[in-house]
Amino acid sequence: MKFFACGIAVSMLGACGGGGGGGFALPGGGGGTPGSYNALAVRGAPILQELKNIEYTTNAQMPTDGTATYRGVAAYGDGNVLSSAQLQANFDNSTMTGRLHNFHAEDGTGVSGDIAIRNGEIRDTGYSAELAGNITTESERAIVSGTVNGDFSGRNAQIVDGVIAAQLQAPSGVDFIGGEMVLKR
């Protein structure tokens, strides 16, 4: 799944583009680059670089017991919105939970939310989970539902990546957004 890294790399480098059409739209494009957005980009860049330079975790390298907490960054759409990402892997029962929070738009537009990553299942060297929560811009609030799927990389599964596919249901309509995330133990 490392093919996705190009999109998140764009946001980590700050070369991000505009928003989407119709329905609920995340802010984006143009304007200045607020410090909190930059801080997230700076936090994610070294994880992304490390991911690009290591191999996927093999079945033999995959932990079979214990837990691990991963922290990193998620980028949405064209990378014009970033958030903190956290995952908790329980290798004893092959489950995954977490959250997406601390949202910041590149152009400084107000955006907030808390999205749970739940009902995650670890299979072989990958995982899949559901997304559920809310996101709010300066103009409206949307209910978020969707999925995240990803892989473990490195010896002992030290890095996790993920591809986000979400539906945003708001009073103005329904919109769909994709995203990517990289996290490290």
Region 69-95 average pLDDT: 97
83 touches 104 (CB < 8 A): yes
In the predicted structure, residue 6 carries a pLDDT above the cut 50 = no
Q: What pLDDT, on a 0 to 100 scale, did the predictor assign at position 39?
A: 94
Tally the C-alpha atoms within 13 A of residue 143's C-alpha that lie toward its C-beta.
Answer: 3
Summarize pLDDT for 139-161 with one digit per residue, the tens: 899 999 999 999 999 999 999 99
Which pLDDT band, with edges at 50, 70 and 90, does 110 fall under?
A: confident
Q: What pLDDT, on a 0 to 100 scale, did the predictor assign at position 72?
A: 97
Summarize pLDDT for 29-74 with one digit per residue, the tens: 434 445 699 999 999 999 999 999 999 999 999 999 999 999 999 9
Q: What pLDDT, on a 0 to 100 scale, did the predictor assign at position 139?
A: 87
Q: What pLDDT, on a 0 to 100 scale, did the predictor assign at position 27?
A: 57
Rounded Cα–Cα distance for residues 42 and 136 (Å): 24
Higher-confidence position of 175 and 18: 175
Q: What would the DSSP string read from start to end of the chain?
A: -GGGHHHHHHHHHT-------SSS----SSS---HHHHHHHHHHHHHHHHHHTSPBPPGGGS--SSEEEEEEEEEETTTTEEEEEEEEEETTTTEEEEEEEEEEETT---EEEEEEEEEEEEETTEEEEEEEEEEEESS-EEEEEEEEEEEEESGGG-EEEEEEEEEEEETTEEEEEEEEEEEE-
What integer best gives the mean pLDDT of the chain? 86
Rg of the chain, C-alpha, whole Å: 16
Region 81-102 average pLDDT: 98
CATH level 3 topology of 2-184: Porin (2.40.160)
Rounded Cα–Cα distance for residues 144 and 89 (Å): 22
Of 6-10, 19-23, 26-30, 46-50, which has the strongest mean pLDDT? 46-50
Summarize pLDDT for 122-139 with one digit per residue, the tens: 999 999 999 999 999 888
Rounded Cα–Cα distance for residues 41 and 163 (Å): 17
Task: At 120, give phi and psi (nearest 5°).
Answer: -75, 145
Predicted TM-score (pTM) of this structure: 0.84
Contacts of 118 (CB under 8 A, 6+ apart): 97, 129, 130, 131, 132
Percent of the chain beyond pLDDT 70?
81
